[in-house]
Structure 1
Amino acid sequence: MGACSSSRSSSSASASASAMDAMALHGHPRPHPAAGPIMPYADADRTLRALAGAAEGFGRHAIGGLHGPLYRVTSLEDDGHGTLRQACRTQGPLWIVFEVSGTIHLHTYLRVSSHKTIDGRGQRVRLVGKGLQLRECHHVIVCNIEVEGGRGHDVDAIQIKPASTNIWIDRCSLADCDDGLIDITRGSTDITVSRCRFSRHDKTMLVGADPTHTGDRCIRVTIHHCFFDGTRQRHPRLRFGKAHLYNNYTRDWGIYAACAGVEAQIASQCNIYEAGRDKKTVFKYMPEKAADRDDVVAGWIRSEGDAFLNGARPCLDDGGPAVFRPEEYYERWTMEPASPALKEVVQLCAGWQPVPRPPDN
């Protein structure tokens, strides 16, 4: 599969902006030429550190290791000189790149400290056995790696908890772990997950731990241009927080596509939900009782411009007006109408990509 090229849409906030530009400013789909859908992050691969601060959505301020030196991973061992683990535990900013391709067998969670960029462009690096753990860390970018086969109790491909902020997960392929693929819980917030591929898994993405963790009301997550490829449920399952989903492609789920638990707010815009042969319910509501409340309530979902294919049933309730408006939090995002062309490009461009490592200018 060749590298996926992209072009970023833009919008004008001037008083003379056209109607199309006004729509784009607020995240609404705008028409583009017949060349096909416009994907985000056109300039992110121009230079090595152009990723810093380039995310769309709630994780847009993540700078990773922007101000740190380059660290070159030269060993595929679990630990020791030149390893990824050594880089991740080093205090202070680092921009981590790989001089080798191959599989790293992790014996324990790989804990990532603050101000790190794990940049897999230019190589193909696969983490197996355990996953990445982001605990009380800030400004982390993880780009273009594969994580699969995480084994053990509570082992996720990427675990973000507690109280981690300004995180961007981009172009990662995640599959087959004993717990989740991405868990975002315990007060972690301002996170973007983009252009990732999720496959061969059951409980895909949990956002918000459980009804006792009322501190998760602060959670804000953006998920866009991701491909949920036959994963069974939780795309995501959300409690308490806010999630903005746009231009994702979810197909052939086993229970439901997305679930709103206690007090959750899900804004679903221009996503493609394609049901499999058996399960057709797209949105599920899960009533629960928050630890500091008396009532048992579910959350709310608002669907705008979503495509429901192969008999997919939205099963929406009337709670859409209770859902936050993304434009109240950020001005713009790259979003296309849900279309066959968008479906094709998300399948092609989500997950690990064979892109070269850009120069570090």
Structure 2
Amino acid sequence: MSSLPYADVDSSMRAMAGRAEGFGRFSIGGLNGPLYYVTTLADDGPGSLRDGCRRKEPFWIIFEVSGTIHLLSYLNVSSYKTIDGRGQRIKLMGKGLRLKDCEHIIICNLEFEGGRGHDVDGIQIKPNSRHIWIDRCSLRDYDDGLIDITRQSTDITVSRCCFTQHDKTMLIGADPSHIGDRCIRVTIHHCFFNGTRQRHPRVRFGKVHLYNNYTRNWGIYAVCASVESQIYSQCNIYEAGQKKKTFEYYTEKAADKEEAKSGLIRSEGDLILNGAQACLLTGVGEECMFHPSEYYPTWTMEAASDSLRTVLQICTGWQSIPRPAEQVVIP
């Protein structure tokens, strides 16, 4: 049986803090703040998720209710917040979350579905946000992206999430004119992209480490490297449906460069199934490709295999798990 990372973070409520793998590993969320109890499914007002997220002080936000919260506008999340859905089943519909000019955010065990309206994202991370961990969330069926990371937001990990029923799944870097996005660094691991059409992810400028993800039955391509991006694809499973192109390269011109460029993808230990075509650009700027070990010493990874594929279909997205107890420290 496959071993999943950070298996002990459900041992106590705040054991998650600082336990992400990869670029988002320093995120502590609301570790140093009190508990905030969400007691209503209302969009706003006392005891609402929006009220807890807008406050400036650190909070570890937990839910005393289950059900659907219909967001009438983007819900802005301020710094040092954990939104912890363990122990309940909370679905966010309508608009999504917006992480704007914030740091140290953990979002765990929520469902996101069905944002309707122009350019609605499930989770929108921009601008200048950092130290973010999105873990065990289910996302589907928004108008624009499920998770978009743009405008110099960096040091982000997305783990054990499930993405379904969607077109433009995950965009990292929105435009070739945004040259400040060269700072973007994202880790995506143990996620399940199930029949989504494209952008698993699509990357401009940033450095992205993909490992132990399962992407199947895409509609255009699996992963796209655009202008100056560096994507390290390690021990992932790519299982084609009708469309066979695993890796796509889009050429664009950075605003401060004369020559248009695509990005780079390095594939190491990936399992390519059902006739998927994984063409790599070789000999072009390979010396510029980053290696994850330059940035973090360890990560929990296994060989891509049938057993991993089975586990990722079960253990990604929202999980029916009890809320861990709050550990009381006795002096």
Name the TM-score, length of structure 2 as normaliser. 0.97
Alignment partners' CA distance in 2, 1:321 and 1:272: 25
1:63 is the counterpart of 2:63 = no
Alignment partners' CA distance in 2, 1:331 and 1:174: 30
What is the aligned counterpart of 1:326 among 292, 313, 322? 292
Q: Unaligned stretches of 5+ in structure 1?
A: 1-35
1:94 is the counterpart of 2:59 = yes
Could you tell me which amino acid in structure 2 is paired with residue 79 of structure 1?
D
Alignment partners' CA distance in 1, 2:214 and 2:231: 16
User: Which residue number corresponds to residue 249 of structure 1?
Assistant: 214
User: Which residue number corresponds to residue 157 of structure 1?
Assistant: 122
1:335 is the counterpart of 2:301 = yes
User: Which residue number corresponds to residue 173 of structure 1?
Assistant: 138
Alignment partners' CA distance in 2, 1:217 and 1:108: 30
What secondary structure sits across from 1:289 in the alignment? coil
Residue-by-residue CA offset, 1:53-81 (whole Å, 9 max, x unaligned): 00000000000000000001000000011
The Cα of 1:43 is off from its aligned counterpart by 1.1
1:188 is the counterpart of 2:156 = no
User: Which residue number corresponds to residue 321 of structure 2?
Assistant: 355
**Which structure 2 residues correspond to residues 88-167 of structure 1 after superposition, within 5 A?**
88-167=53-132
Alignment partners' CA distance in 2, 1:281 and 1:328: 30
User: Which residue number corresponds to residue 315 of structure 1?
Assistant: 279
What is the aligned counterpart of 2:178 among 213, 233, 237? 213
What secondary structure sits across from 1:95 in the alignment? strand
Could you tell me which amino acid in structure 2 is paired with residue 354 of structure 1?
S
What secondary structure sits across from 2:267 in the alignment? strand
Alignment partners' CA distance in 1, 2:287 and 2:119: 35
1:345 is the counterpart of 2:311 = yes
User: Which residue number corresponds to residue 239 of structure 2?
Assistant: 274
Q: Structure 1 segments of 4 or more deviating over 6 A?
A: none
User: Which residue number corresponds to residue 284 of structure 1?
Assistant: 248
Could you tell me which amino acid in structure 1 is paired with residue 281 of structure 2?
D
User: Which residue number corresponds to residue 17 of structure 1?
Assistant: none
Could you tell me which amino acid in structure 1 is paired with residue 9 of structure 2?
A
Query: What CA RMSD, in Å, does the superposition of the two structures yield over aligned residues?
Result: 0.6
1:237 is the counterpart of 2:218 = no
Residue-by-residue CA offset, 1:115-155 (whole Å, 9 max, x unaligned): 00000000000000110000000000000000111111221
Alignment partners' CA distance in 2, 1:124 and 1:220: 30
Whether the 8 Å CA contact 1:302–1:321 is kept in 2: the answer is no
Residue-by-residue CA offset, 1:224-274 (whole Å, 9 max, x unaligned): 000000000000000001000000000000000000000000000000000
What secondary structure sits across from 2:127 in the alignment? coil
Alignment partners' CA distance in 2, 1:64 and 1:140: 4
User: Which residue number corresponds to residue 80 of structure 1?
Assistant: 45
Alignment partners' CA distance in 2, 1:94 and 1:82: 13
The Cα of 1:322 is off from its aligned counterpart by 3.0
| % identical equivalent positions | 69
Residue-by-residue CA offset, 1:283-317 (whole Å, 9 max, x unaligned): 00000000000001001000000000000010111
Residue-by-residue CA offset, 1:179-232 (whole Å, 9 max, x unaligned): 000000000000000000000000000001110000000000000000000000
Number of residue pairs matched?
325
User: Which residue number corresponds to residue 257 of structure 2?
Assistant: 293
Could you tell me which amino acid in structure 1 is paired with residue 246 of structure 2?
V
Alignment partners' CA distance in 2, 1:152 and 1:330: 39
What is the aligned counterpart of 1:305 among 265, 269, 279? 269
**Which structure 2 residues correspond to residues 21-40 of structure 1 after superposition, within 5 A?**
36-40=1-5
Name the TM-score, length of structure 1 as normaliser. 0.89
Alignment partners' CA distance in 2, 1:326 and 1:43: 24
**Which structure 2 residues correspond to residues 192-207 of structure 1 after superposition, within 5 A?**
192-207=157-172
Alignment partners' CA distance in 2, 1:242 and 1:44: 27
Q: Unaligned stretches of 5+ in structure 2?
A: none
What secondary structure sits across from 2:158 in the alignment? strand
The Cα of 1:88 is off from its aligned counterpart by 0.4
Whether the 8 Å CA contact 1:112–1:133 is kept in 2: the answer is yes
Alignment partners' CA distance in 1, 2:16 and 2:154: 19
User: Which residue number corresponds to residue 7 of structure 1?
Assistant: none
What secondary structure sits across from 2:114 in the alignment? strand
Could you tell me which amino acid in structure 2 is paired with residue 284 of structure 1?
E
Alignment partners' CA distance in 2, 1:323 and 1:251: 26
What secondary structure sits across from 1:303 in the alignment? strand
The Cα of 1:321 is off from its aligned counterpart by 4.1
